[in-house]
Amino acid sequence: MKNDNAILPERAKSIRFSECSGDGSGIKCESESVSGAVSQRACVYCGARVVLNPITDAFHIVHGPIGCASYTWDIRGSLSSGEEGYRNSYSTDLRETDVIFGGEKKLVAAIDEIMTLHEPKVIFIYATCIVGVIGDDIDAVCRNAESKYGIRVIPVKSPGFSGTKKTGYKMACNAIMSLVTPEFLPAKTLGVNILGDFNLAGEMWIIKNYLRQIGVEVVANITGDARVEDLKKAPSAQLNLVQCAGSMTYLAKQMEETFDIPFIKVSFFGVTDTSDSLMRIAYAVGDKEVIKRAKAFIEEEKNRVIPLLNKYKKNLEGKKAAIYVGGGFKAISLIRQFNEFGMNTVMVGTQTGSKDDYEVIQHLVDEDAVILDDANPAELEAFMKEMGADILVGGVKERPLAYKLGVAFCDHNHERKHPLAGYEGTLNFASEINLSMNSPVWETIAQGGNKNV
Amino acid sequence: MLELTPKKLSDRSTLRINPIKTCQPVGAMYAALGVHQCMPHSHGSQGCCSFHRMFLTRHFKDPAIASSSSFTEGASVFGGGSNLKTAIKNIFDIYDPEIIAVHTTCLSETIGDDLNGYIQDAKVPEGKLVVHTNTPSYVGSHITGYYNMIAGFIKYLSEATGEKNGKLALFPGFVNPGDMREMKRLMKLMGTEFIMLPDTSGVLDAPMTGNYTMYPKGGTSIPDIRDLGNCELTLGLGELTSEFPADFLEKKCKVPYKTLPLPIGVENTDAFIMALNQFSKNEVPYEIEEERGQLMDILLDSHQYTNNKTVAIFGDPDTVLGMAQIALEMGMIPKYMVTGTPGAAFERKANALLEKFGVEGCTAKQSGDLFELHQWIKNDPVDLLIGGTHGKQVARAEDIPLVRVGFPVIDRYVHSYMPIVGYKGAIRLAELILNALMDRQDRDCEDEDLEMVM
């Protein structure tokens, strides 16, 4: 094992070098973090909130002390084509007396107050860490509020300690099921639901536009730029497209069982994945005209985009990439995309990847590449340096780490600056990593004989 | 944006909308990062630690490290003792800090974890230290957590040996590394020997070197924290933030204390310099006098652009009071002063300030939020907003310029490197405020009124 100094013994099984993974044990993942680790992971509440937050006309009340509401206030760059209510922060701001006497009354009052101020169709009530501990029955509060106001008030029980971020995704999926399940199943329409796109930087709009161009109707966006009325139509779709597999496979399976909607996993990161996904959607929809249009559209887009990408390629070829992202599915897409650019992925890690994800990853990368689950900054630093990464793709906590090491960076998380999905997203991605890796700033900071840079 | 904010005020006693505060632990984490070779440790669920690090990283644009006890269902039932024990072992084994500063969370407080006991039972390697403070998220705000952590260091480490060290103990208040640097510079210019706790300069504004170090060069040293107990006097800057640790140090080590407002603006900086002068008995050097004179010159040159402008200030209590002071000194009217942090002292101090300047018709509110401030502005607008990034939605909705000051500022760069305290800080604030107002005048005036010389 390399880099022994940077690795906790307990962590060793969560790190693999592609070459020595043949022992059959695989990587240790989908488990709790080690106590004391400087983990980059978030919690159950965070997982639930990031999935539901993009529902633009829902009201999201965080029941708990103020922190959880403050930290998640308008942090996800999910864009809306209409309502902006979700960009406010609502909380019961529990205080000491509430912890002693219970917070139920406060929650009831908070719902009353929101009903005075606005006309919500749906309110999500997030129960954070202490709500269960102090004995609040939020199910009862939600039920009573529903009968009092005749709207949906849906509890999302997401105490941070009750699992990982993935548990939170599940809680969010349950809440969505509760919202969209009708009394009687509607007749099927010719259309698809998009699951697991959160419209970061407007990516949902790009994908919807592609689908429109190949003649596929979108019934509901789950949850990017979603509105409650559209979500409720979801059961009538003929097919579910699952994009962020980590968060949405669970929902897709439930919808398959309950509404009889089959699903396929798709990815719109990179030319290859985008084209493959569009074709698979066309075949799954099974309409000859759609297949024809998809082929033509892909051809046209490839002809447009590939020459442009080739212009970047000479700057990117041979560079080494490091990846640290939330889910395994995105990591896989990114590795493929770097391959398209002629770049080599030397380190790849995720916060919540599954065993299957890591197996795919292992097949995609070189033998000496480093694979990490739930890594900490010390590990990221050690391996980025050892592997000589030229760029790191990650989220907010990884950015300053990369810059301190003098490594270029691209945010592929909530703070992404441009849409990175689809053909234009691929162009944006190439442009961003090119700008960061080949920025004049590297020349500037290398002046004065700073050999470390 | 924010079309959902109705102009009509309604009774809202429980629902918090768009807060101007966050919870205690992030303040404790910030304070702990200002101690050299210290690992802040969050005793609670993993999300807390992750959110706090993200929050600090977004403000400082620098890595903010901290570890977590990573609570599970089991810990929430049986207590977090074994999590903390494992955490302490792991942290010293792999991250090798000199000291771990544990703070609690709403969860560990609610289930009643006994941190004193856990830490006594923990295996701590020879020469290494573990300290803690209680930071229940449902009491106070991040400001409370910040001063609780300072008191936690004092509680565990500071000792009065009986031999005075001739130094001034300085608590800087909840300010940026740039402000802490400026305070240190002024104290050095005044020939004052001091110990400052915490000191995040050199930690959260550390230079880029091509190496990542978990523990950058900055931060108050452990021997210095011990030696706090031998200081002659404590000066607590930011009365609502620094009185608590100052009082704590007095009780423990008999170090007398004095508190002053954050040195924002002329009068507050004068008071700081005079306190240093009284302490060190050194004359105020020309360098400081010159800076003060430059500030006077600037305020006089530009007064016509600021006179009688109305301003809404929101943020942390001492920062808002300091900003109100400089606004009044620039002839502006701090029409609304709002902090999310609870505590009646804020309103008292704000009203005393208004009385001192003979200004009427202004509102000060503690435990307020941005939604309410927005409603006030809709009913009676202001010329300028001063506060953190979260005011940008209001600024856009009401088309009011926003000067970014305070915490958090997550949508701009450089701010954490630059002071708002001292005469230099006041000069910077004057520039920020004037630019905001004058850019607006240029933007809004008729073509024929566009002035080349202003």
Structure tokens at A120: 């919500």
Q: Which amino acid is at A58?
A: A
| Strands laid side by side in the A192-197 sheet | A218-223, A192-197, A239-242, A263-265
Q: Which CATH number fits domain A1-37+317-416: 3.65.10.10, 3.40.50.1980, 3.40.50.2300, 3.30.210.10?
A: 3.40.50.1980
Cβ neighbours, 10 Å, residue B226:
17
Residue A157 has pLDDT above 70, yes or no: yes
CA distance A92 to chain B (A): 5
Helix (H) or strand (E) holding B447: none
**Cβ contacts (< 8 Å) between B69 and chain A: which residues?**
35-36
Closest CB to A67: pick one of B11, B22, B209: B22
Helix (H) or strand (E) holding A217: none
Closest CB to B65: pick one of A90, A163, A377: A377
- Please state, in angstroms and rounded to a whole number, the distance separating the CA atoms of residues A215 and A74: 34
A46 and B CB contact within 8 Å: yes
Q: Which CATH number fits domain A44-180: 1.10.1040.10, 3.40.50.1980, 3.40.570.10, 1.10.760.10?
A: 3.40.50.1980
**If DSSP codes are grouped into helix, strand and coil, which group holds residue A292?**
helix
Closest CB to B3: pick one of A42, A84, A159: A84
Contact B14 A85 (CB under 8 A): no
Q: Give φ, ψ of B314 to 5 degrees.
A: -135, 155
Interface mutation target, options A8, A38, A383, A415, chain B, most CBs of B under 10 Å: A38
User: Residue A39: pLDDT band by 50, 70, 90 thresholds?
Assistant: confident
CA distance A14 to chain B (A): 15
Contact A6, A380 (CB under 8 A): no
Contact B107 A129 (CB under 8 A): yes
Report, as an integer, the average pLDDT of A233-247: 92
Sign of the Cα torsion B166, B172, B176, B182 reads: negative
Domain definitions of chain A by residue range? 1-37+317-416, 44-180, 192-295
Q: What is the model's pLDDT at position A451?
A: 46
A3 and B CB contact within 8 Å: no
Contact B22, A70 (CB under 8 A): yes
Q: Which long-range contacts does A393-397 make (Cβ < 8 Å, 24+ apart)? A: A393/A321, A393/A322, A393/A323, A393/A324, A393/A325, A393/A334, A393/A433, A394/A323, A394/A324, A394/A325, A395/A40, A395/A324, A395/A325, A395/A326, A396/B54, A396/B57, A396/B58, A397/A40, A397/B50, A397/B53, A397/B54, A397/B57, A397/B63
**Domains in chain B, start-ordered, CATH in brackets?**
24-157 (3.40.50.1980), 168-280 (3.40.50.1980), 287-449 (3.40.50.1980)
A116 and B CB contact within 8 Å: yes
Q: Give φ, ψ of B436 to 5 degrees.
A: -65, -45
- HSE of B4 in the Cβ direction (CA atoms, 13 Å)? 25
- DSSP line for A79-118: --SS--GGGS-EE----HHHHHH-SHHHHHHHHHHHHHH-
Contact B110 A134 (CB under 8 A): yes
A425 and B CB contact within 8 Å: no
Do A44-180 and A192-295 share a fold?
yes
- Please state, in angstroms and rounded to a whole number, the distance separating the CA atoms of residues B194 and A108: 52
- Please state, in angstroms and rounded to a whole number, the distance separating the CA atoms of residues A95 and A396: 30
A159 and B CB contact within 8 Å: yes
Report, as an integer, the average pLDDT of A357-380: 90
- For the packed helices A328-340 and A355-364, what is the interaxial angle rounded to 10 degrees? 10
**Cβ contacts (< 8 Å) between B55 and chain A: which residues?**
70-71
Contact A91 B91 (CB under 8 A): no
Share of chain A above pLDDT 70, in %: 94
Helix (H) or strand (E) holding B148: helix B142-157
Q: What is the model's pLDDT at position A405?
A: 87
Q: What is the model's pLDDT at position B17?
A: 96
Closest CB to A36: pick one of B10, B11, B87: B87
User: Residue A322: pLDDT band by 50, 70, 90 thresholds?
Assistant: very high
**Which among A2-11, A118-127, A240-249, B208-217 has the top mean pLDDT?**
A118-127
Per-residue pLDDT of chain B (454 residues; tens, 9 = 90+): 567 889 998 888 899 999 999 999 999 999 999 999 999 999 999 999 999 999 999 999 999 999 999 999 988 889 999 999 999 999 999 899 999 999 999 999 999 999 999 999 999 999 999 999 999 999 999 999 999 999 999 999 999 999 999 999 999 999 999 999 999 999 999 999 999 999 999 999 999 887 888 999 999 999 999 999 999 999 999 999 999 999 999 999 999 999 999 999 999 999 999 999 999 999 999 999 999 999 999 999 999 999 999 999 999 999 999 999 999 999 999 999 999 999 999 999 999 999 999 999 999 999 999 999 999 999 999 999 999 999 999 999 999 999 999 999 999 999 999 999 999 999 999 999 999 999 999 999 999 999 999 9
The pLDDT tens digits of the residues spanning A395-453 come to 888 898 899 888 999 998 877 879 999 999 999 999 999 999 999 998 888 876 554 44
Residue A21 has pLDDT above 70, yes or no: no
Sign of the Cα torsion B369, B370, B376, B380 reads: positive
Task: Please return the burial class of B223, using the count of CB atoms within 10 Å of its CB with bins 0-12, 13-18 and 19+.
Answer: exposed
Q: What is the model's pLDDT at position A17?
A: 65
CATH 3.40.50.1980, applies to A192-295: yes
Length of chain A: 453
pTM of the model as a whole: 0.95
For chain A, the first-to-last Cα distance in angstroms comes to 27
Residues near B77 by beta carbon (within 8 Å), at least 6 away in sequence: none
Task: Please return the burial class of A187, using the count of CB atoms within 10 Å of its CB with bins 0-12, 13-18 and 19+.
Answer: exposed
Contact B136 A133 (CB under 8 A): no
Write out B173-239 in H/E/C secondary structure: CCCCHHHHHHHHHHHHHCCCCEEECCCCCCCCCCCCCCCCCCCCCCCECHHHHHHHHHCCEEEEECH
Residue ranges of alpha helices (H) inside A226-270 are 228-231, 245-259
Contact B50 A96 (CB under 8 A): no
Residue A4 has pLDDT above 60, yes or no: no
Report, as an integer, the average pLDDT of A288-304: 97
A residues 20-39 near B, CB within 8 Å?
32-39
Comparison of pLDDT for A262 and A31, the residue scoring more: A262
Predicted-complex ipTM score:
0.95
Structure tokens at A27: 């990587």
Closest CB to A130: pick one of B69, B107, B141: B107
- Please state, in angstroms and rounded to a whole number, the distance separating the CA atoms of residues A283 and A296: 14
In degrees, rounded to 5, the angle at the alpha carbon of residue A274 between the alpha carbons of residues A270 and A278 is 175
A with B: how many residue pairs have Cβ under 8 Å apart? 253
Report, as an integer, the average pLDDT of A176-199: 94
Closest CB to A396: pick one of B44, B57, B68: B57
A115 and B CB contact within 8 Å: no
Contact A87 B1 (CB under 8 A): yes
- For the packed helices A271-285 and A288-316, what is the interaxial angle rounded to 10 degrees? 170
Report, as an integer, the average pLDDT of A23-39: 71
Q: Give φ, ψ of B208 to 5 degrees.
A: -85, 125
Contact B68 A33 (CB under 8 A): yes
Nearest residue to B20 (alpha-carbon basis) of B333, B336, B327: B336
CA distance B106 to chain A (A): 7
Contact A378 B14 (CB under 8 A): no
User: Residue A85: pLDDT band by 50, 70, 90 thresholds?
Assistant: confident
Structure tokens at B425: 């800080």
Give the C-alpha distances (Å, rounded to integers) separating B415 from A328, B83, B418.
36, 38, 5
The single residue listed with the structure tokens 């700057």 is A315
Residue A16 has pLDDT above 90, yes or no: no
Q: Tell me the sheet residues that pair with A192.
A: A218, A239
Residue A24 has pLDDT above 50, yes or no: no
Q: What is the model's pLDDT at position A18?
A: 52
Q: What is the model's pLDDT at position A3?
A: 46
